[in-house]
């Protein structure tokens, strides 16, 4: 700014002492031709050529706009702004990367958890299926064991049916007689417990009584030999005695009685036929 040694009003003095000569240096925006026309004279002299005055005004206006900065500074500022933009971009990019990575990590964790859950569920289902299969297998095995234990079988083989169930010679015969050679193996009809094995004082000779799993009691009389004892558990078809003609008997045979629920005797043939055994 050109100095002026005369002040009026409340204007403050210049911050720097006045120098003998001052030059108005046009800013970079001025063309060399115009700049060459600038002539600065003694301090205080405000006589500028019209062109120089005009350019000075331009210069001042430009300076007032703050555009007369050092090109290097401008470039540096621009670089800084670019750098700032780059930094913002990088920060934004980094943020995006972090967000992306976090999202990926969370997704991976979720996937892993989901996979673990699926595996656990599959294992649980497999264990449950195995337990169910084991339970069914045990149940089936138990059912088969029960079926085996509850089956009914023929007491002996090689016999001839003689006296049947009913009245004979004016007397009730509550049994089926099976004529067979002495010493023929006699078997339990099903699973049960031996409730009598010994000599009968009522004419049955050596007799075996078995109470079966359904409560029925069988009598097998006139044996020559007994091979089971009272309280013994027997299985279907198990040997219990050998046939004979002991007691009140006219010849070797097995006298077979069937007492449902240990009650009155019933006809053995239809009763056994109902259980798949045909004498
Ligand atoms: Zn008889």
Q: How far apart are CA 49 and CA 38, in angstroms?
A: 7
CA 273 to ligand 1 centroid distance, Å? 19
What local confidence, expressed as pLDDT, does residue 33 receive? Answer: 44
What local confidence, expressed as pLDDT, does residue 88 receive? Answer: 73
Best CA proximity match to 155, nearest among 236, 265, 251, 249? 236
CA 255 to ligand 1 centroid distance, Å? 4
CA 156 to ligand 1 centroid distance, Å? 15
What local confidence, expressed as pLDDT, does residue 146 receive? Answer: 94
CA 163 to ligand 1 centroid distance, Å? 7
CA 229 to ligand 1 centroid distance, Å? 23
What local confidence, expressed as pLDDT, does residue 276 receive? Answer: 97
CA 242 to ligand 1 centroid distance, Å? 16
CA 192 to ligand 1 centroid distance, Å? 22
What local confidence, expressed as pLDDT, does residue 271 receive? Answer: 98
What local confidence, expressed as pLDDT, does residue 41 receive? Answer: 43
Name the CATH superfamily, with its identifier, for domain 160-273.
Glucose Permease (Domain IIA) (2.70.70.10)
CA 17 to ligand 1 centroid distance, Å? 160
- Asked if 140 and 123 count as a contact pair (C-beta separation under 8 A), the reply is no
- Asked if 242 and 225 count as a contact pair (C-beta separation under 8 A), the reply is yes
Please identify every stretch of the chain with a pLDDT value under 50, giving residue numbers as ranges.
1-3, 7, 25, 27-45, 58, 61-63, 66-67
């Amino acid at each position: 700014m050109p100095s002026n040694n005369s002040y009026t009003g409340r204007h403050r003095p210049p911050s720097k002492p006045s120098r003998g000569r001052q030059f108005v240096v046009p800013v970079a925006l001025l063309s060399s031709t115009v700049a060459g026309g600038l002539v600065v004279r003694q301090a205080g002299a405000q006589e500028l050529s019209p062109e120089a005055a005009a350019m000075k005004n331009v210069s001042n206006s430009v300076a007032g706009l703050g555009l007369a900065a050092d090109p290097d500074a401008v470039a540096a500022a621009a670089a800084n702004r670019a750098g700032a933009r780059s930094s913002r971009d990088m920060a934004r990019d980094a943020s995006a990367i972090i967000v992306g990575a976090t999202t990926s990590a969370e997704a991976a964790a979720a996937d892993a958890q989901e996979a673990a859950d699926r595996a656990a569920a599959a294992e649980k289902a497999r264990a449950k299926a195995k337990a169910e299969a084991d339970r069914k297998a045990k149940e089936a095995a138990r059912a088969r064991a029960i079926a085996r234990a509850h089956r009914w079988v023929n007491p002996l083989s090689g016999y001839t049916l003689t006296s049947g169930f009913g009245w004979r010679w004016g007397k009730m015969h509550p049994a089926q007689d099976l004529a067979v050679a002495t010493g023929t193996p006699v078997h339990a009809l099903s699973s049960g417990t031996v409730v009598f094995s010994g000599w009968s004082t009522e004419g049955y000779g050596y007799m075996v009584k078995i109470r079966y799993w359904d409560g029925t009691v069988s009598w097998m009389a006139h044996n020559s030999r007994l091979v089971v004892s009272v309280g013994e558990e027997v299985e279907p078809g198990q040997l219990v005695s050998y046939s004979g003609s002991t007691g009140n008997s006219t010849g070797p045979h097995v006298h077979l009685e069937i007492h449902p629920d240990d009650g009155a005797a019933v006809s053995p043939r239809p009763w056994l036929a109902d259980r798949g055994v045909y004498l």
